[in-house]
Structures are given as structure tokens and as C-alpha cells.
């Protein structure tokens, strides 16, 4: 039986991958969710899936006062960060390093549900081996390459991502999580900065940049069915982009499955 505490630090755009990992793990465990505003969406999704969890405050967890029995049980503690850090790669890197440093005394391993989002060449696992007392695991493909961002995670890793970009050059790439969080997500995109203040609409902005299509990358996770299609249609109306569906076989959950397995396997038995 697995024993130890796994810390999960997650981005809201990758919360569906967190839910997927938890639902597909049949081992007995106790899940703790750090109660912060960025965790509210994940909380609802966990409740809908019937995943039991206990809420703790950030102070309780980081000060060691949360009711976590670290020696004899398998625990998971989830800390969600705010959406938008990806828009500032340098701030994202600093924020994640600070979060990992702050929680390392309370966990035995860390799974980072984040893409690098502009921090090319940064490998948090290597950084952790130098500066942390616990191992850190990130999304990787089968070539050991770190996934670039949430799209890289969705299509299976770095090399597949490069091929994917060549196929869909100059198009807006949209996963169900991006569609579901479009209002917040678009406000944090590099290309949208300053346009709202100038009175330029999202539709006008994409037209200025020559975008015509939004690519639906259905990972099979998160919102589904009519709700998902409604979110895609809302995005299409807001951007003025025509929706196209990604070709079959280009979506790959390997990085998500590997991240959770590697982090969990690092714990004791």
C-alpha cells in the first residue's frame, strides 16, 4: 500500500487532468484541498465526480496544522494557483518555485500540473534536485522532454506539439478547459494586452492578427456534450473565428497519466 503525501500544485487550465488522475486511481487515499479562490472550480468538479476530500486553509497546511497523517496513509494535498500566471513567464517561474519551497516540508513528493508556458529550457525536476528536499515531477512525453504548455500536454508532448503547430499554424488552439474559462483566459493572453483599453474588441483583435480559425482540441476531459459545444460557440462568437475540429489521433493523455504515476511511485510503501 502506498504511504506518503503527494502535493499537487495546479493551474486551473489543467484541473481536468487532476480530476482524471484522481478518478482513475483506485488506491485508498485521503485528499485535501487547500481552500483558495483558484480552487473553487476544481472543488465543484470533484464534487460532481463524487471524489471525497477535506478542505484545509493555506495556513493550516503550510504551518503543519492540517489533519494529515503522513506516516501511515496515502495523502494528496492539492494547491491551485490563479489563472493568468502563464502570461508572465518570469513571474510564473518565480511563483511556482516559491510555492514548492513553501510546501516541501509538508509533502514527500510534488506533482506540478503546469506547462512551462514560455520558460523554455526550465526543468523543475532538475531545479528541485538542487534546491528542494523532495522530488518534483512535471508533464513529460515518452522522449523525456518537458511539455511546453497545456496544448503540449493535450497532444502528447514536445515533438508531437511541434508537429501539431505546423499542421495548425496561425490558429487559436482551444481545449475544453480553455473554452470553459475563456473569459478569464483571453484577458491574460499576451496578444490581448492593452486592446480593451483602446476599445478594440476581441473579434477585431483576431482579425488584425489574421486569425480565421479556432481549433477544438477535445481531450475527452472536463465539460462534455451540449455544455462544451455551447462554450465553443460562445468563444466563436466572441472571437469571430470559425471552429474546426482537430484531426483524429492527435490528442494523447500520456503526459497526464505519466505525471501522476511517476509522482505516486516515488512515495514509499
Measured between alpha carbons, how far is 188 from 55 in angstroms, rounded to an integer? 28
Find out whether 32 and 7 touch, Cβ atoms under 8 Å: no
Q: How many alpha carbons fall within 13 Å on the CB side of residue 173?
A: 21
**Over the stretch 77-132, which tens digit does the pLDDT of each residue have?**
999 998 766 556 778 889 899 999 999 999 999 999 998 776 677 889 999 999 99
Mean pLDDT value across the chain: 91
Percent of the chain residues past pLDDT 70, beyond the cut: 94
Find out whether 186 and 192 touch, Cβ atoms under 8 Å: yes
**Over the stretch 18-64, which tens digit does the pLDDT of each residue have?**
999 999 999 999 999 999 999 999 999 999 999 999 999 999 998 98
Burial (CB < 10 A; 0-12, 13-18, 19+), residue 114, is buried
**Over the stretch 144-168, which tens digit does the pLDDT of each residue have?**
999 988 999 999 988 899 999 999 9
SS3 label, residue 32: strand
What pTM does this model have?
0.92
DSSP secondary structure code for residue 189 in this structure = S
Domains identified in the chain and CATH numbers: 4-148+253-265 (3.40.35), 169-245 (no CATH)
At residue 247, the pLDDT reads: 84
Measured between alpha carbons, how far is 242 from 206 in angstroms, rounded to an integer? 11
Find out whether 86 and 92 touch, Cβ atoms under 8 Å: yes
At residue 99, the pLDDT reads: 94
- Alpha-carbon dihedral 44, 18, 82, 146, rounded to 10 degrees: -170
At residue 196, the pLDDT reads: 66
Find out whether 1 and 27 touch, Cβ atoms under 8 Å: yes
Amino acid at each position: 500500500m502506498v504511504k506518503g503525501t503527494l502535493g499537487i500544485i495546479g493551474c486551473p487550465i489543467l484541473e481536468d487532468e487532476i480530476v482524471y488522475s484522481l478518478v482513475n486511481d483506485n488506491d485508498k487515499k485521503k485528499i485535501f484541498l487547500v481552500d483558495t479562490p483558484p480552487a473553487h472550480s476544481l472543488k465543484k468538479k470533484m464534487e460532481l465526480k463524487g471524489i471525497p476530500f477535506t478542505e484545509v486553509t493555506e495556513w493550516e497546511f503550510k504551518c503543519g496544522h492540517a489533519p494529515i497523517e503522513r506516516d501511515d496513509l496515502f495523502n494528496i494535498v492539492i494547491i491551485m494557483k490563479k489563472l493568468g500566471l502563464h502570461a508572465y513567464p518570469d513571474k510564473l517561474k518565480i511563483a511556482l518555485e516559491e510555492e514548492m519551497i513553501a510546501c516541501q516540508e509538508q509533502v514527500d513528493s510534488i506533482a506540478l500540473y503546469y506547462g512551462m508556458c514560455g520558460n523554455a529550457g526550465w526543468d523543475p525536476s532538475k531545479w528541485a534536485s538542487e534546491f528542494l528536499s523532495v522530488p518534483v515531477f512535471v508533464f513529460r512525453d515518452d522522449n523525456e522532454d518537458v511539455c511546453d504548455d497545456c496544448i503540449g500536454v493535450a497532444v502528447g508532448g514536445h515533438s508531437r506539439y511541434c508537429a501539431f503547430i505546423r499542421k495548425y499554424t496561425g490558429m487559436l488552439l482551444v481545449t475544453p478547459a480553455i473554452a470553459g474559462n475563456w473569459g478569464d483566459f483571453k484577458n491574460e493572453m499576451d496578444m490581448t494586452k492593452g486592446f480593451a483599453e483602446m476599445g478594440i474588441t476581441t473579434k477585431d483583435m483576431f482579425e488584425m492578427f489574421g486569425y480565421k480559425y479556432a481549433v477544438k482540441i477535445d481531450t475527452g476531459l472536463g465539460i462534455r456534450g451540449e455544455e462544451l459545444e455551447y462554450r465553443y460557440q460562445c468563444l466563436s462568437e466572441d472571437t469571430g473565428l470559425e471552429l474546426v475540429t482537430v484531426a483524429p489521433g492527435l490528442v494523447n493523455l500520456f503526459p497526464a497519466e505519466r505525471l501522476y504515476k511517476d509522482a505516486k511511485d516515488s512515495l514509499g510503501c
